């Protein structure tokens, strides 16, 4: 079937589908800095704090297709911190631990200065249930440290009249995850951290969860699990699912989600990641009673982890890519904008400060402190002798840009879901 006919068929199918709607729940309409949410990663370890490296020494992932993997010899090799890390950019504070109170507090302070009110902390499941992320990292202990650091930062900020930064949860996929295991995860998180002063709660007292890769589980399974999670909680949580494919908006509504986010930094990944689709997605979200939270990113470069993935690379263009993403997000009039990311260094999406840094590859490799030049050449890395940086804008460029755009978002009047969703749906689908 030609592409245009496939698209037309998909549009007609969406128009014919019933308009599933979360009308029984209050819409998610945060105010001020809480409209800007940054995805925040807690998987970094250092020997000084944790007894080992994690993520800074990330192994190079092989492609899942053997014939492609064979074209990239050197996969499974690990990077060699502290000098030769897995990221295309060098963190201005150097490689740090996600359980270091000083580093965590400084990161919270940076987000506050950038107008970010909520950090969505990456969480990889319960011990004994999940084996963690691709590097075997579980983030429960780091989550406690991050909440405590945010509380300390917020106390100091309150004394000078500055707003708090609170934490939402970004529920990551793990082997064997199901809707039921997510229900149990939410119960665990609320039992462990639900009363913490630094946990985000909206005006109705509801905590906030983002569910990554939600589209791998059916809407019917999600509906039962999310309803059960809400019923068991003192204040029913708000759940955002990931909108990647064209049809995910309908599935998220049918599955009982309150909102949809797009996360991915590269439009090559799929429909939801392409900012050209955000106006239509925002409109569909409103008619389905979902809060739409497009995800803005400064760029994407995972070449030191997935060297075979160059098709998804997005250049930063000195900040122009980030500005364009923010303008597209604001044009969609969303109640929330999500930032990919605060500090995902391995995929090069961070807004955290990055500093210029040269790398004497040959000297470091001679003493086993860096990958050899020959390995780097086999992996076709763009630069062997220096990390990338933010150019003339300096290390704080993306925090400064976030502050300007988040101020515009905070000042924008919220656009609530329509009172008559069915009438809105009929108008929308008639125009399709």
**DSSP at 267:** G
Q: Is residue 211 part of a domain?
A: yes
Q: Is residue 173 part of a domain?
A: yes
Q: From the first residue on, what is the mean pLDDT of each consecutive set of 10 residues in the chain (432 residues)?
A: 41 40 76 96 98 97 92 86 98 98 98 98 96 92 97 98 98 97 98 98 96 98 98 97 98 98 98 98 97 98 95 97 98 97 98 97 96 91 89 97 98 70 48 45
CB burial class (10 A; 0-12, 13-18, 19+) of residue 163?
middle
Helix, strand or coil, per DSSP, at residue 353 = coil
Q: Is residue 28 part of a domain?
A: no
Range of the domain at 295: 33-431
Q: Is residue 19 part of a domain?
A: no
Residues 264, 274: contact at Cβ < 8 Å? Answer: no
pTM (2 d.p.): 0.92
pLDDT recorded at residue 11: 40
pLDDT recorded at residue 61: 93
| Gap between the Cα atoms of 322 and 351, Å rounded | 10
| Gap between the Cα atoms of 397 and 393, Å rounded | 5
- Per-residue model confidence as pLDDT tens digits over 314-350: 999 999 999 999 999 999 999 999 999 999 999 999 9
Q: Is residue 18 part of a domain?
A: no
Q: Is residue 315 part of a domain?
A: yes
What is the domain count for the chain? 1
**What Cα–Cα distance (Å) separates residue 362 from each residue in 47, 72, 273, 374, 385?**
24, 21, 39, 10, 9
Residues 394, 100: contact at Cβ < 8 Å? Answer: no
pLDDT recorded at residue 15: 40
pLDDT recorded at residue 281: 98
Cα-flanking dihedrals φ and ψ of residue 89, to 5°?
A: -115, 155
**What Cα–Cα distance (Å) separates residue 195 from each residue in 12, 22, 127?**
46, 26, 21
pLDDT recorded at residue 9: 42
**DSSP at 198:** T
Q: Is residue 116 part of a domain?
A: yes
- CATH code of 360's domain: 3.20.20.80
pLDDT recorded at residue 384: 78
């Amino acid at each position: 079937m030609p592409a245009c006919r496939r698209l037309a068929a998909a549009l007609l199918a969406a128009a014919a589908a019933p308009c599933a709607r979360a009308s029984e729940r209050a819409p998610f309409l945060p105010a001020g800095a809480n409209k800007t949410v940054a995805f925040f990663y807690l998987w970094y370890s250092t020997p000084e704090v944790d007894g080992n490296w994690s993520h800074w020494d990330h192994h190079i992932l092989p492609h899942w297709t053997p014939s492609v993997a064979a074209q990239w010899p050197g996969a499974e090799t690990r990077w060699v911190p502290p000098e030769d890390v897995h990221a295309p950019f060098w963190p201005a504070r150097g490689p740090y631990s996600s359980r270091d109170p000083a580093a965590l507090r400084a990161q919270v302070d940076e987000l506050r200065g950038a107008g970010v009110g909520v950090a969505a902390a990456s969480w990889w499941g319960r011990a004994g249930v999940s084996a963690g992320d691709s590097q075997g990292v579980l983030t429960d202990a780091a989550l406690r440290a991050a909440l405590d650091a945010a509380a300390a930062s917020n106390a100091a900020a309150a004394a000078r009249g500055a707003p708090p930064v609170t934490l939402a949860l970004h529920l990551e996929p793990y082997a064997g995850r199901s809707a039921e295991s997510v229900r149990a995860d939410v119960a665990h998180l609320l039992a462990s951290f639900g009363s913490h002063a630094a946990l985000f709660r909206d005006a109705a007292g509801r905590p906030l969860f983002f569910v990554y890769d939600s589209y791998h589980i059916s809407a019917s399974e999600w509906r039962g699990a999310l309803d059960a999670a809400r019923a068991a909680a003192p204040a029913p949580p708000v759940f955002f699912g990931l909108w990647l494919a064209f049809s995910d908006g309908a599935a998220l509504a049918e599955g009982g989600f309150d909102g949809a986010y797009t996360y991915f930094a590269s439009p090559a990944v799929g429909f939801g990641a392409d900012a050209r689709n955000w106006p239509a997605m925002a409109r569909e979200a409103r008619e389905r009673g979902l809060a739409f939270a497009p995800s803005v990113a400064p760029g994407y470069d995972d070449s030191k982890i997935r060297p075979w993935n160059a098709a998804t690379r997005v250049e930063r263009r000195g900040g122009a890519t980030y500005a364009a993403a923010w303008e597209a997000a604001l044009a969609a009039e969303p109640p929330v904008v999500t930032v990919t990311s605060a500090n995902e260094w391995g995929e090069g999406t961070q807004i955290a400060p990055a500093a210029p840094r040269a790398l004497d590859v040959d000297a470091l490799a001679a003493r086993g402190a860096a990958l050899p030049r020959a390995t780097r050449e086999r992996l076709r890395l763009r630069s062997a002798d220096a990390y990338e940086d933010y150019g003339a804008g300096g290390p704080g460029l993306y925090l400064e840009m976030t502050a300007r755009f988040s101020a515009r978002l905070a000042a924008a009047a919220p656009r609530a879901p329509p009172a008559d969703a069915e009438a809105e749906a009929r108008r929308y689908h008639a125009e399709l």
